[in-house]
Amino acid sequence: MTTVQTQPFQTEREELISGSEAIAMACALADVDVITAYPIRPYDTVMQYVAKLKADGVLDCDYIVAESEHSQFEIVKHASAVGARTFCGSSGVGWFYAFEAICVTAGLRMPVVAMIGNRALDDPGAFGVEHNDALAVRDLGWMLYWVATAQEALDTALLAWRVAEDPRVFLPFGISCDGSFLTHSQAVVRVPDAQRVKQFLPPYDRGRLQLHPDNPITVAPQVNEDWLMEIRRQTDQAMRRSVSVIQEAYGEFKQIFGRGDPSPFIEEYLTEDAEIIMVGMGTLAMPVRVAIRRLREQGKKVGFLRIKFFRPFATEEVRQALSRCKAVGVIDRDYSYGSPSFGGVLFNELRSVLYPLEKRPLITNFIAGLGGREIHVRDVNDMVDTVQRAIDTGKVEQECNWIGVRE
């Protein structure tokens, strides 16, 4: 029988842990009630560390290893309906196997928090990172965030429960972590003390929407055309409200924990005077920043904009940041076959963001790093050269470019 430690997080401390382990640590700090698991790489590193924390008495929760990803997400959906704080996750086709439950979770406004260990979709089978798995839910009512470091993984998980469980929102939250580069790579992480987490994260209270014998309500009703548009509009309004809730929660997070970026939605790196701004999500930020620092040493005005929240998308902030430059290079770690210009998902989102501007920067797309292939500094240099040629000639030669592909 496991003995639960009464006060496992009395003081802040530093831990050498991976991004997956950081999220598991956040589960313990947040006192999550129900965690479900089903093994699939690279997400399974979270469930392994959750199991260790529970066995060591650091985490007191109902830990359920389901018989499939579908059951895994069904369990947390129903647990959330009765007022339990929940966590689960998956990767690649495992995420897709649970898609029915994932879709319904958003429709029912259940604030489930899930970690997506981004990996390539089958076939062919591959364990390396691609973003298409998580991006598949971008239109369904899930908040989506791409983290870049293990520290950010822990911090974002705490933010996720705070925002998702806010009665003004009540929407699920997906934390996207690049497979291997983040899920398995270790870094020094500041693990906060339990008292400050408790100050930041109130208990989950579903109020009159909580399913209980004393509060018999209908969950997941079948409706007709007389009600469906109104329900869809309510979800849309909740996503709109999430913007201010995120800003409010992030401001409190920075005040309580003493860290954070100026914006919860984007991160700007040397963009103030940049003529070229590269844009991307996730761990590709590291090689891009290194390349930009070296290009700056050569006198080239290049910057980087990292998209953190993909949903809700920070339209105005992104538009303002990119409107100052001459050209934009968008790095997609995804693909969207047959899309406009055959470009990636992020590329077409950004084209939509920039369209209302009277003077729009030129925009070029780069598909790179699929299947876990590394994005090198030299690759970033080549992308910047391509964007610079567009500035020099006044036109984009090819809107979508695949980087590092063997012919």
Contact 130, 122 (CB under 8 A): no
Q: Which pLDDT score is estimated for 225?
A: 86
Considering the domain architecture, whether residues 241 and 127 belong to the same structural domain is answered as yes
Considering the domain architecture, whether residues 106 and 240 belong to the same structural domain is answered as yes
Answer whether residue 396 shows pLDDT above 70: yes
Considering the domain architecture, whether residues 175 and 151 belong to the same structural domain is answered as yes
> Closest Cα to residue 210, out of 165, 245, 160, 159?
165
Length of the chain: 407
Q: Which pLDDT score is estimated for 19?
A: 97
Answer whether residue 313 shows pLDDT above 70: yes
> pLDDT, tens digit, for every residue of 107-158?
999 999 999 999 999 998 888 999 999 999 999 999 999 999 999 999 999 9
What is the domain range of residue 398?
Answer: 266-402
Considering the domain architecture, whether residues 118 and 247 belong to the same structural domain is answered as yes
Answer whether residue 269 shows pLDDT above 60: yes
Contacts of 126 (CB under 8 A, 6+ apart): 119, 120, 371, 372
Answer whether residue 407 shows pLDDT above 90: no
Answer whether residue 239 shows pLDDT above 60: yes
Q: Which pLDDT score is estimated for 4?
A: 60
Among 225, 257, 289, identify where a domain stops: 257
Considering the domain architecture, whether residues 156 and 297 belong to the same structural domain is answered as no
For residue 13, the SS3 value is strand
Answer whether residue 359 shows pLDDT above 60: yes
Q: Which pLDDT score is estimated for 3?
A: 58
How many domains would you assign to the chain? 2
Answer whether residue 2 shows pLDDT above 90: no
| Domain at 379, CATH number | 3.40.50.920
Query: Within a domain: residue 174?
Result: yes
State mean pLDDT over 254-283. Answer: 98
Q: Which pLDDT score is estimated for 398?
A: 96
Strand order in the sheet with 400-402: 266-269, 302-307, 276-280, 327-332, 362-367, 400-402
Query: Within a domain: residue 1?
Result: no
Considering the domain architecture, whether residues 171 and 248 belong to the same structural domain is answered as yes
Among 257, 287, 319, identify where a domain stops: 257
Considering the domain architecture, whether residues 232 and 367 belong to the same structural domain is answered as no
Answer whether residue 340 shows pLDDT above 90: yes
pTM of the model: 0.96
| Domain at 118, CATH number | 3.40.50.970
> pLDDT, tens digit, for every residue of 41-60?
999 999 999 999 999 999 99
Considering the domain architecture, whether residues 323 and 242 belong to the same structural domain is answered as no
Query: Within a domain: residue 4?
Result: no
Among 257, 290, 306, identify where a domain stops: 257
Considering the domain architecture, whether residues 195 and 253 belong to the same structural domain is answered as yes
Q: Which pLDDT score is estimated for 120?
A: 96
Considering the domain architecture, whether residues 320 and 246 belong to the same structural domain is answered as no
Considering the domain architecture, whether residues 192 and 63 belong to the same structural domain is answered as yes
Least confident of 122-131, 200-209, 396-405: 122-131
> Closest Cα to residue 152, out of 44, 269, 46, 261?
261
Strands 13-18 and 400-402: unpaired
Q: Which pLDDT score is estimated for 221?
A: 84
Answer whether residue 235 shows pLDDT above 90: yes
Considering the domain architecture, whether residues 297 and 253 belong to the same structural domain is answered as no
